[in-house]
Structures are given as C-alpha cells and as structure tokens.
Chain A
Amino acid sequence: MDFDVAPFTLQSAAAGVLSWLSVVGILTFMAVLISFLLSVARNGAGGIGIFTKGLLSYLEDVGSLSPRRILALTNLTLKEAIRRKALLVFAVFAVLLMFAGWFLTNSNERAELQVGIHIAFILQTISWLLLPVVFFLSCWALPEDIRIRSLHTVVTKPARRIEIVLGRIFGMWIVTFIVLVSMGIIGYVWIVRQLPPEAKNQLTCRVPLFGYLHFLDREGQAAMNGMNVGDVWDFRSYIEGNSPGRGVFSFDGIDESSLVFGTQTAADGSGTVQVPGLMLECRFEAFRTVKGSESSIIQGVQAQYTLSNNPRETAFGLFAGSSLLRPVGSALRDAQYKTGANRLEEIAAKVATDSDSVKAGAEAAEVKQNDYFVLRLAAAYAADVLRTRNDAALTSAAAAFQKVSDSTNDLLNRMSEKSAEPYTALSAALTELAGVLTQDAETLNEHLPRLDVVLPSFHVAEYHEGSAQNINFVPRVVRFSADAETQSRSLAAVFEALNSKNQLVEGDALNPNLPGLLHSEGELSEANANLVTEVLSEQLTSGVLKVADGKLSVADGQRWLQYFDSLIQKNLLVSADSEGWMMERDLINDLTTDGRLRVEVSCVNDQMYLGMARPDLFIRKPDRAFLVGYTKALVSTALMLMLIVILGVTVSCIVKGPVALFFTLTFFIVGQFFHGFMQAILYSTELKGTGAIASAIMGAQHRGPSVGMDVSETTQRVVEGIDSIPRGLLWAFSQIVPDFTAFNAASGFVENGFDVPFAETVVPASMICLGFLIPCVLIAGALLKFRELESK
C-alpha cells in the first residue's frame, strides 16, 4: 500500500475550519469595506446611506428565504438539465463500459489486481465523465440565463437573487446525484458481472485498523525513525536484521469487536477448527546488502511479530530521549530498579554540582537544558502511567516521579534566575526517587510485569513474488513459548497459590503429588512439572529451601519471583519439552492494556533490512461488504462535484460563462495538484530576506541570505513588510482554494480493497464542501443582487 492516511482528529479539523473561516471572514470584511468605499466615492456622503440600505436589504433577503421559491428554482434547473440532454452522458458511459469490457478483462492477471483495475476504471470513469458536465452546467447556466435575459422575468417576480443562486446549486446537486447514483448502480453491476468468478471473492472491503509506528534502534532504544537505506524518497524506515532493531506498531481500540474468525489446527491435531483471533496484514519491503550476483538465489526475508504488553516500556521509554538519562530508562525497563536508582543518584550528584556552580556564580555545565526537558516529560509520563494502573503498591513511586517532574519544571522556569535553590531541590527529589526505587524494587518488579508473546517467524512476501500481501492470524488464545520473565512469574504464582493451601509440602518433604498439582493448577507440561519438582527437592535437600509450619519457603527469605528468576538464570529450569516452556495467554485480557496492543516487528535475517511505514501493518477487523466502501467512494466523488457546483455558480454570478469556467477550472487544478505545494512553500523554513526586494538589495550589496541586508532597521522592516505581501496573498489563496485532494482519498482505499474510513475521508470532504457552501452562497447572492442584469 503506497498511500498513507494522515490520522484525522477533530481538533485538526476544527483548526482547519477555524482558519478557513478566518480567511473568509477577512475577505468578506474586505469586500464589504471596498464596496462601502466605492459607494462613498461615487455618491459622496450619500454613499453611506446607500451602502447601509443595500446591506440591510441584503440581510433582509437572506432572512426571508422562501423554501417554496427555492424549490421552484431547483425544479427549473433540474428540468433544464434534463431537457438540455445532460443525461446523454449516460450514453457515453454505456459505450465506455462496453469497450472497457473487451480491454480490461484479462483472466491471466492476478485476481486482486483485476479487481483493483475494474473498480478504478468505474470510479475514474464516473468522475471524469461527470466533471465536464458539472463544470459546464455550473459555469454556463447563470450567465446564459442573463445573456438571453430569461432571468429578467424571474427577478421581476418576488424571487430573491440569493434564492436563484440556491435554486441553481440545489438543482445541479440533484442532477449530479441522480446521474451519479445511476452510474454507480450500473458500474456496480458491471464490476460484479465482468469479474471472472475466481476474482469475485476478492471483492471485499477490508476494514483496517492502523496503528502508530515508532522504532527501536539497533541498541533497542526508542527512536522516531528507523534507518535510511539511501533512497530519500522512500517513505519507509528500515530495521536491521538480526539486531534489537524493531518497528513498533501500537494499536488502539482493540477489543472483541476487532476479532475475526480464522482457522487453527485442532488441539488433537485432527484437522482444523475455526477460532476467533486477530488478523494482522502487512506489506513490508526488504533491502538486501548482499547483491543478487553474490548469492544466486534471492534469499527470502523472515520477519517476526512480538506481541508485547509492557508497562515498564510505556512508563520509562521516554527516558531514552537524552543520552544522560538513557541508562536510567534502560535499567528501569529491564526491571533493574536498583541499578536505575544508582544511575539516578549519579544524576542527582551532577545536579548538586551544578547547584554549587550556580551558587559560586559559574555556569551550570553538568546537565544540559535538553536533559531537563526530557526529564520533566519522562518523569511526568512515568508518574502518570504508574498512577493510572490504580495499584496501591505503585503510589509512592508515582509520587516520587511526579516530584522529580515538578522540580524539573520549576528549575526550567527559574533557570534565568541563576539561583541555586531549584537545583538543590531537584537533586533532593532525584535522591528521594532513587531511595523509593531501591526500597520498592521488589514490589515494583512484582507489580509491573512484562508479557512478551513471540510469534513464529514468517516469510515476508514481496512485490516481485506476485503478491506482497501477508496475512497472519493470531488466535485469541495464543500459545507461545514463554521467556524467562513470564516463566518465573507463572511459577511464582502457582507456588504461592499452592503454598497458601499448604499443598507444597507433606511432612518435611515435598508433596509427592506436586508434579500432578503443578500440571493441573499451573501452566506446566507434565515433563516440566517433573523437572521443577526434581530441581526443588534437590534445593530442599541442599538447604536452599526450608519447610516450616507446613509451608515451603526460601531459606534466605527471598520471594518466589526472585527465587525462580535466579534458578532460570542459572539455567536450572531449561524446558524439558522440545517446544519450549509453552503457555497460553488471552489476546484481549492479557495482552492489551486499555485497548492498546503493541506489536513489535523484527527481521530475522542477517544482512537484510526490513522497511516499514505506518500503513504497512494493520489489524484487519471483520470485512464489510464491498458495496459499503464503493458507496463511500461515490459519496466522496459526489461531494467533490457538489463543491465544484458551488464554486462554478458563485463565480458565474459575476463573470461570463467562459471566464467562470476558466476560474473554476483553475481552482480545481490548483486545489487538486498544487495545494500541497503551496503549503510546502508557506511552511518552508523562513530565511532572512528571501523576499524579492530583499534578495535584490542583498544581490546589490553582495551579501548572502545568512548575513542579511545592510540597511537601517526601518528600511529593513518596510522591505520585509512589502516582501511579506506575496506570501500573505499566497496564504490567503491557499486557504481559499479548497483542498480537492481530500476527495480522492476514498477511491484509493476502495481500489486497494479497503473500507473507507469515514473519519479520514468522508468527514473532511463533507466539511470542506459545507464549509464552502454558506460563504459562497452569501457572496454569490450579493454579487448577483448588486449587479445590473445587462449582459452588454
């Protein structure tokens, strides 16, 4: 998939609407002001009265809009379009479909591609056929009405001119709508009938759930981007094979509704069963450092998913943002709270040194400002994550983190004061945090469990293999080989449970039934249960474990979690099964926190890189009917045509047909192809004196842009002011020209077999369309009202 969808938020939409409204507001105000000045210039003082009267009468018109009259005018427009044979466009459509049938249907192609081609053909044909019709209808109708003066008979009836505008717009909307719906139906039937049977089941509407992507670098530290393999245009970032490098996708909103049914081998190995689970679909790109000539066969790429529920990563990941703090984060993420505390104490010492330097009037040089920024954010975030877990065991740590963040904030705010006090305070807060971490180390370790489910690696299909589509089904109850941490947590849990029921020991020895109990109560295979019992009875004999009051405990008072950790570290509990220490966990209950699922992607192969971008991995929610996405794509097209109608009618209120057509087309082309370009110019980094005049001056003075002009400050201001005018105009223009690309996104989804997310396509498109409707109608109504209806 080569199209990316910018995450759409209501906030950004609201911001867009606001900025657009402000432009419209400014322009309307300017228009009103200019007409006022013109009125005064023409009529002297009397102009004020004339202007006020005109304005009031226009407002009255707007206030007395009559649905009956608008409807009559709408109806008129509709009849006109139909009687003028606008519907002939159907004939063209039919002919095109006939011919296309011969050329497009090629059963040798892959089904997936065929489907895409057919859908693209229909959607493109519909919009390209309707575009000229809509352009001509909207730009020609009113000027023609004025030219042949049929409008004279209408405006000498009580019809307000703004009603004429509305009637025109609505009528053309209805025409467009009728044509679009009919073509849509015909197109749908055509697609379904034209596709060969084997391609028809590809005619679905996948519902992707996209996540957010960040990376872990080759040291396993969080990073915004992966590696670049040299191609600047590549929007993918790469991770190195066989390294800690990871692409980390975080998906929000995972719950039971995200599950689909997939096949899994039955537990007894007899055939397959249908079980619910998550469908992961990806399209990654591989980059090889080994040239094809060196190894005659192009080696396939293996990738691996790790589903990870890791509160420590979430809580402490941000410490990676500064090299000073990174060791703290690494230790905490690895549950090495004491090491983390030591690192914090070192930093506290540095801050204290700085405190002394400041006191002595010197520069604080040990800790950089950037480190403080990172510290403020990372500590606050850690506090927040710990707090929201609603766990009493974590409160003191959360409070200590919060205090560090607050002190850092205070320090940053008071940095210019050159006072030693905030430094001292922060140093104290850091020491205090270190204390809490040391003291609570074991509790924290027990209460912040990391669960990593490493899924089997899989071959990544690439484009040259025909299809780059990779689908992995992960059953809801996922079976996996546990890592050390999960293994020891699971063991500790079952030992605690059995111990509390006094079932671990019988007399002075272990319960002879222990293997059976471990197998039935805990998550141990029979072989592993025997292994654990064996190891533990040895430990009991050697006195590492002891029995007291019918309970088993570690002689030195260690907790079970630490105890098993150390056993595993000593390689005493290596799985007796060939599969590994197998366990089962629930995707929804165990692997997501607040609906968030983290999927880490790694590349298995040496000397290979795996490239990925945000849309490259997504969770496929239950598919929808193809018709759903298809309809949404047509709705987007309809909205685009509706917007063209609005623009065309507005412009045609003041100029003649060809000129109106020219302007509307310009709007369309600029909005379609240059909108992004204008934004790029506007938001490019500002250089000093890059305006036309400033460059001329600098050219004359033989000075470069980095130096600036050698002129007085006033001159500089004036020059900059003048130079900012084109930029301002461009800004206004870029705001006025609607972003037509918003209407194209939907068809891309459907052609690629995706459902069209409402929030990211249809919603912004409707907002643009409606955003233009009201101001345009108001402007058009005024243009028509205050012009003479003579075409000469």
Chain B
Amino acid sequence: MSNDAVIEIRNLSKVYRDFWGRKKVQAVKSLSMDVKKGEVFGLLGPNGSGKTTTMKMLLGLLFPTSGEMTILGKPASDVSKNERIGYLPEESYLYRFLNADETLDFYGRLFKMGSAERNRRADELIEMVGLAKARRRQLKEYSKGMTRRIGLAQALINDPDLVLLDEPTSGLDPIGTREMKDLILRLKAQGKTVVMCSHQLADVQDVCDRIAVLFQGELKVLGRVEDLLEVRNETQIRSSSLSEAAISEIREVLKKHNVSDAVVSRPRADLEELFLRTVRESGERPGRRFTTEEIAGKPGGQA
C-alpha cells in the first residue's frame, strides 16, 4: 500500500438487509480502489450503482458487510478522522430552522476552533458561496441551489484535507456549476484531496484526475481521465483560421498519402460516450472489469 493513498478500499461489499435480516440488495460488490493524496477523484455510475453507499461507508454512516477500508490512515469507524474531512451529502441535510450564520457556527463548534477563527472562516465561506445577502435567513426559506451552497460551506468549515462531495453540482445554476468546478480545482491547487460523485459528466471531465465507473455495485472502469478518453488511432486538426486554399492544400497532401475522406482532427471521445459504452458493455458482460486500453481503444459506435 502506498503512503500517499488517502483512501484505501479493499474488497468492500455492502448488502442492504430489511428489518428481518433478509437480503434486499447488494449495493456494492467487492470494490477495491485507492484515492491518492492531492487528486480529484470522480465516482461515476448510473443511478443506484452504489456511489453514495460507498461514500457513506467511508464516512462510517453505514457499516460494510465485508471488506476493509482506511481513510486518512484510520478505520472508517473512527470518529477522530472527521477532524480532517469535509462531506457534502447528496442533498443538503441541514437544520432548516437555523440561518446560514448559525449553521456554520454550529458545525464550527464541533471542531476544535476558537471563536475568532470560526467567525473568520464563516465569513470567508459565506462570501465564497455567494450567500452574503441571505446569511440571516433561515434555511427553510432557501432555494435548492442556495441550500446546496450552504451545504458546501459547512463541508469546508474545518478547512479539511479530504473533501467528499456527493453530486456537488446538482441543483446549481450554470454559474454555480462553473464556480463549483473552479472551487474544486482551487482545492486541488491547495493540495487537498477531493472525491466526488456526479452525473454531470462534463463537470467530471473538466475537473477529475481519475475516475471510477461503478455499475450495479461493481467497479467497471478505473483510470486517468486523459488516458480513458484519448482515442489513439485518430488525428484531429481543428482551426477556425484555415482558408479554403489551405484546406484544399491539406486535402491534396492527404490524397497524396492515399487518405480518402479524412477528417483532419485528433478528437477525444467525450465522457458521455465512455459512460454509455461502459454501461452497455457491462449489461452484456456482467462481472467483467475493463482495462484502460480496452476502453480507449474502441472508437465510438464500434462496440
């Protein structure tokens, strides 16, 4: 196990049972993966694929049925790890009778923070998430996006080393989404580790260093975004300043090399394509994990 792994997951499984202990659903199936220090890690997968479950197990909210995991070098059940963790739940589960200031103050008090530091941090965060105007209003009056923003602020109140974000951009407007992505990159620049789940594939594509794709609780794909999305055997040249003459010259050159009907470009598949393909293939060949090469080597539409 490498030293710079912030999260290590080995053979993690989770079976949800009902009141009588009967098996309802296996949400996670022997999942193994690491998250390294300083990276932005994306957890992808269709609805119900076990992303949230995995995150909750990491946080000690749920207990794994089997398997091991450490987070910041401590077992998931150890509360003291929370000193250095920030968590934004899927939906912002906050106390709706508190206002933004009180919310941050309350969560701040759960950490070892002096009151001056707490206030400074709260001001900073409220400014950052753009709630300065609404800081004295009770959360029950907030819109979905505003709730999301205050949720993010509380997750960062302790200036955490590891941030777990469950669908951080859901409910945010395009500007909010943009800001969220900037924020994630800023956190990364500060050397923090970010783990996020998302359906907004474009967002993931923009900010994540590595991603894992889950399907029905199984890890299907794991790798660097660049590697996963690079399509090796094609070339793309894209420009808006090419004159008609230049284009015909290029065609000439291609013709000379016996290339007919070429598109002059070296495109990257977009993540959506990868995602859809993974899901489709997993449906056809369940239980199989795909290699980076396999995924990347197959141009869109061929699988």
6 A–B contact pairs at CB < 8 A?
Answer: A54-B77, A79-B98, A153-B92, A156-B59, A157-B111, A792-B16
Q: Contacts A57-B78, A152-B61, A789-B61 given; indicate if A159 touches B110 (C-beta within 8 A).
A: yes
Q: In the complex, what distance in Å separates the CA atom of A529 from the CA atom of B94?
A: 96
Q: Tell me, yes or no, whether A717 is within 8 Å of chain B by CB.
A: no
Q: Tell me, yes or no, whether B245 is within 8 Å of chain A by CB.
A: no
Q: In the complex, what distance in Å separates the CA atom of A150 from the CA atom of B16?
A: 21
How distant is A348 from chain B, measured CB to nearest CB, in Å? 79
Chain A residues bordering chain B, tally (CB within 8 A): 31
Residues of A within 8 A of B94 (CB): 150, 153
Residues of B within 8 A of A75 (CB): 106
Q: Pick the interface stretch among B83-91, B235-243, B272-280, B289-297.
A: B83-91
How distant is A765 from chain B, measured CB to nearest CB, in Å? 33
How distant is A156 from chain B, measured CB to nearest CB, in Å? 4
State the main secondary structure of chain B at its contact with A: loop
Q: In the complex, what distance in Å separates the CA atom of A475 from the CA atom of B87?
A: 79
Q: In the complex, what distance in Å separates the CA atom of A790 from the CA atom of B94?
A: 16
The listed residue with most B CB atoms (<10 A of its CB), out of A57, A69, A152, A154, is A152
Residues of B within 8 A of A153 (CB): 87, 89, 92-94, 107, 151, 154
Docked-complex contact B111 and A790, CB < 8 angstroms = no
Residues of B within 8 A of A53 (CB): 77
Residues of A within 8 A of B154 (CB): 153
Docked-complex contact B97 and A80, CB < 8 angstroms = yes
13 extra A-B contacts, CB within 8 A, seeds A76-B106, A79-B102, A153-B92:
A57-B78, A69-B109, A72-B109, A72-B110, A76-B98, A79-B98, A150-B94, A153-B87, A155-B61, A157-B111, A158-B80, A159-B79, A790-B62
Give a binary string over B132-143; 1 marks a CB under 8 Å from any A CB, 0 the rest: 000000100000
CB contact list, B57-77 vs A, under 8 A: 59-63, 77
Residues of B within 8 A of A675 (CB): none
Q: Contacts A158-B111, A788-B62 given; indicate if A80 touches B95 (C-beta within 8 A).
A: yes
CB contact list, B34-66 vs A, under 8 A: 59-63
Q: Tell me, yes or no, whether A371 is within 8 Å of chain B by CB.
A: no
Using a Cβ cutoff of 8 Å, how many contacts connect chains A and B? 78
Of all chain B residues, the one with the shortest Cβ separation from A72 is: B109
Of all chain A residues, the one with the shortest Cβ separation from B53 is: A790
State the main secondary structure of chain A at its contact with B: helix
Docked-complex contact A84 and B106, CB < 8 angstroms = no
Of all chain A residues, the one with the shortest Cβ separation from B110 is: A157
Q: In the complex, what distance in Å separates the CA atom of A80 from the CA atom of B139?
A: 13
Q: Tell me, yes or no, whether A632 is within 8 Å of chain B by CB.
A: no
Q: In the complex, what distance in Å separates the CA atom of A84 from the CA atom of B63?
A: 33
Q: In the complex, what distance in Å separates the CA atom of A159 from the CA atom of B82?
A: 9
Q: Tell me, yes or no, whether A621 is within 8 Å of chain B by CB.
A: no
Residues of A within 8 A of B63 (CB): 788
Q: In the complex, what distance in Å separates the CA atom of A299 from the CA atom of B82?
A: 83
CB contact list, B190-215 vs A, under 8 A: none
The listed residue with most A CB atoms (<10 A of its CB), out of B16, B95, B151, is B95
Docked-complex contact B77 and A788, CB < 8 angstroms = no
Docked-complex contact A157 and B97, CB < 8 angstroms = no
Q: Contacts A79-B98, A153-B154 given; indicate if A69 touches B93 (C-beta within 8 A).
A: no
CB contact list, A153-188 vs B, under 8 A: 153-160
Residues of A within 8 A of B62 (CB): 788-790
Q: Contacts A79-B98, A149-B89 given; indicate if A72 touches B61 (C-beta within 8 A).
A: no
Q: Which of B77, B78, B92, B110 contacts A154 (CB 8 A)?
A: B110
Docked-complex contact B61 and A150, CB < 8 angstroms = no
Residues of A within 8 A of B112 (CB): 68
Docked-complex contact B98 and A156, CB < 8 angstroms = no
Residues of B within 8 A of A767 (CB): none
Q: In the complex, what distance in Å separates the CA atom of A149 from the CA atom of B62?
A: 13
Docked-complex contact B61 and A788, CB < 8 angstroms = yes
Q: Contacts A157-B82, A788-B61 given; indicate if A150 touches B95 (C-beta within 8 A).
A: yes
Q: In the complex, what distance in Å separates the CA atom of A567 from the CA atom of B11?
A: 111
How distant is A65 from chain B, measured CB to nearest CB, in Å? 12
How distant is A497 from chain B, measured CB to nearest CB, in Å? 83
Q: What are the nearest 8 A-B pairs in CB distance? A: A72-B109, A149-B93, A83-B97, A157-B110, A156-B87, A158-B82, A150-B93, A159-B110
Docked-complex contact B80 and A71, CB < 8 angstroms = no
Q: In the complex, what distance in Å separates the CA atom of A160 from the CA atom of B89?
A: 19
Docked-complex contact B109 and A68, CB < 8 angstroms = yes
Residues of B within 8 A of A79 (CB): 97-98, 102
Residues of A within 8 A of B16 (CB): 792
How distant is B131 from chain A, measured CB to nearest CB, in Å? 17
Q: Tell me, yes or no, whether A496 is within 8 Å of chain B by CB.
A: no
Q: In the complex, what distance in Å separates the CA atom of A788 from the CA atom of B14?
A: 12
Residues of B within 8 A of A267 (CB): none
Of all chain B residues, the one with the shortest Cβ separation from A76 is: B106
How distant is A35 from chain B, measured CB to nearest CB, in Å? 13
Q: Contacts A79-B97, A79-B102 given; indicate if A156 touches B77 (C-beta within 8 A).
A: no
Q: Contacts A61-B79, A150-B94 given; indicate if A156 touches B85 (C-beta within 8 A).
A: yes
How distant is B255 from chain A, measured CB to nearest CB, in Å? 62
Residues of B within 8 A of A10 (CB): none
Residues of B within 8 A of A680 (CB): none
Q: Contacts A68-B109, A157-B82, A157-B110 given; indicate if A152 touches B89 (C-beta within 8 A).
A: yes
Residues of B within 8 A of A54 (CB): 77
CB contact list, B121-175 vs A, under 8 A: 138, 151, 154, 158
Residues of A within 8 A of B111 (CB): 157-158
Q: Tell me, yes or no, whether A148 is within 8 Å of chain B by CB.
A: yes
Residues of B within 8 A of A789 (CB): 61-62
Q: In the complex, what distance in Å separates the CA atom of A719 from the CA atom of B125?
A: 71
